[in-house]
Amino acid sequence: MIELSRRQLLQGGLAGLLVGPGMMVTAAHAEGSTVTIAYNVNLPSWDPTTGLSAVNPTIQAIYRSVFDQFIGQKPDLAFQPGLLTEWGWSDDKKQVFMTVRDGVKWHDGSPFTAEDVVWSLERAGKMDGGNPIAFIWSKIGNFKVDGNKITADVLQFEPTLFKWMAFLTGYVMPKAYYEKVGAEGFEAKPIGTGPYMVDQFERNAFVRLKANPDYWGGKPAFDTVVFKFVPDATSRVAEIESGSSDVTVDVPFEEYDRLKAKDGLAGVVTPVSDIGMIFLNNDGPMLDKNVRMAAAISIDKKAIVDKLLRGYATPISTLEAPEYVAFDPAIVVEYDPEKAKELLKASGFGPDNPVKFTIQTTRGLKPKDYEMVQAIVGMWRKVGIEAEIEVYEIAKHYELRAADKLAPAAFYNWGNAIGDPTTSTGFAMFGPSPHSVWNTDDLDGMIGPLWGEADEKKRIDGWKAVDKYIAENAYVIPLIQYQQPILFKKTVKVTPNVAGSPEPAQMSPAS
């Protein structure tokens, strides 16, 4: 093997993956039995049910490669059996029932059982257990197991319970193994029941996965999957253009258009369930409705989509994308910079005396995220808003959001693969939610009763009313529904996933 210096490896980043001093893992590619993916986010933790990383939608493609969820989703987001083959409510909604899949094995060869499901649900529902969605999971209890049948009492009705079983933190964990090795042992050697097993993990660098030969859904097409963690978009472009990686996501759209035309490469752009939005924190200048509304109506979303995103996005006015069940096309926040100037003037602001605040954003996580914020800041400047841009990693966003310490404005991409209003508007805007930074009694009073509403039409109509009220008060600034660019070698067949990231188990060698 030819010896290369660390400098050569880091400069090229193309022939392999540097693991540590004197160690290199060669990244074979899809011409053989390996597919290498240049991915746009790091993996902070191997527990998909606890901590801030558990609610990062972008990481789920990695988690779903190793772990299975209670209920599965197809690439078009249709629900399907996962580790549960049947599920539902009793007629009076006072109990739930679940049927557990037979014949499944954990990666260590031990049998998967109904006790694993119960333990996972009870663990997830502990309010002090570290699950950021514990208040969902805690609403069922008093579990009873009869073979592969499970029943539980409904302690508080939660209409989206089974949807969450296919969403963030909805993973089944190995009871016996976890209790044996503990949290640290699990982090060092995680196991699941998923299509791939963890073979090697270098934090902030890569993870290599090996196919699970005993996977209940059938052995995946590729024997090996390598996720390279490449947060920088320019570096992801280099990875795919050089041939160092076989697949990459979320590159700038001009690079997507250029590279998909190159020999040996192909691409697809798919509307996904993610939306780009600006959180507003109810503090300082954002307490002034005129400031909030001026900030919202002075953003030319169509210009951003057409000029920056090359048409690969859809402008939106609420936190419901068109595919979500509570989407209301009648709610529209029109672009009106002259009205924005009038509103600011009424509050004593203008181009000569601008209102000032910070806006936070990632850079390279999503196509043109930083550039979009730059454009927005430029539009704001024209009407009398002076915003200073602060760039941070996505992990820092979660940390600040959980502590309710985001800046007055913070750009974010919100994923909602189950399309329910509770998991978009609800979690983003309800004050007690750990994912919200807007905390006002008026909005909380509207949202609170909807959480447990059993009448589905009344529930959805209620959320539409909430979205209308939010738009009228500019409590958040929705911007776009994303379309995700995926580039790949023509030797790989990639199935786009509306959840936002293609999964290795849904890839195969091209015929």
The CA-atom distances, in angstroms, between 310 and each of 22, 261, 411, 482 are: 44, 16, 20, 12
Report phi then psi at 261, rounded to 5.
-85, -5
pLDDT at 381 over 70: yes
Question: Stretch 436-444: mean pLDDT, rounded?
Answer: 97
pLDDT at 18 over 80: no
- Assign 357 a pLDDT band (cuts: 50, 70, 90): very high
Class of the CATH domain delimited by 271-483:
alpha beta
pLDDT at 17 over 60: no
Q: What is the CA radius of gyration of the chain?
A: 23
Query: Alpha-carbon distance 5 to 395, whole Å?
Result: 31
* pLDDT tens digits, one per residue of 165-191: 999 999 999 999 999 999 999 999 999
Q: Which residue has the higher pLDDT, 323 or 183?
A: 183
Question: Stretch 127-134: mean pLDDT, rounded?
Answer: 94
pLDDT at 394 over 80: yes
Q: 68-177 and 271-483 share one CATH topology?
A: no
The residue extents of the domains of the chain are 68-177, 271-483
pLDDT at 8 over 80: no
Smallest Cα–Cα separation from 40: which of 453, 388, 477, 395?
395
pLDDT for 103: 97
* pLDDT tens digits, one per residue of 268-281: 999 999 999 999 99
pLDDT at 37 over 60: yes
pLDDT for 382: 98
SS3 of residue 204 by DSSP: coil
pLDDT for 5: 34
Report phi then psi at 61, rounded to 5.
-60, -35
The pTM assigned to this predicted structure is 0.84
- Assign 6 a pLDDT band (cuts: 50, 70, 90): very low
- Assign 456 a pLDDT band (cuts: 50, 70, 90): very high
* pLDDT tens digits, one per residue of 57-66: 889 999 999 9
- Assign 452 a pLDDT band (cuts: 50, 70, 90): confident
pLDDT for 323: 86
pLDDT for 43: 94
Query: What sign results for the dihedral spanned by CA atoms 495, 498, 500, 505?
Result: negative
Class of the CATH domain delimited by 68-177:
alpha beta
- Is 27 within 8 Å of 34 (Cβ atoms)? yes
* pLDDT tens digits, one per residue of 235-263: 999 999 999 999 999 999 999 999 999 99
Taking each continuous run of H as one helix and of E as one strand, the counts in the chain are: 16, 21
pLDDT at 401 over 60: yes
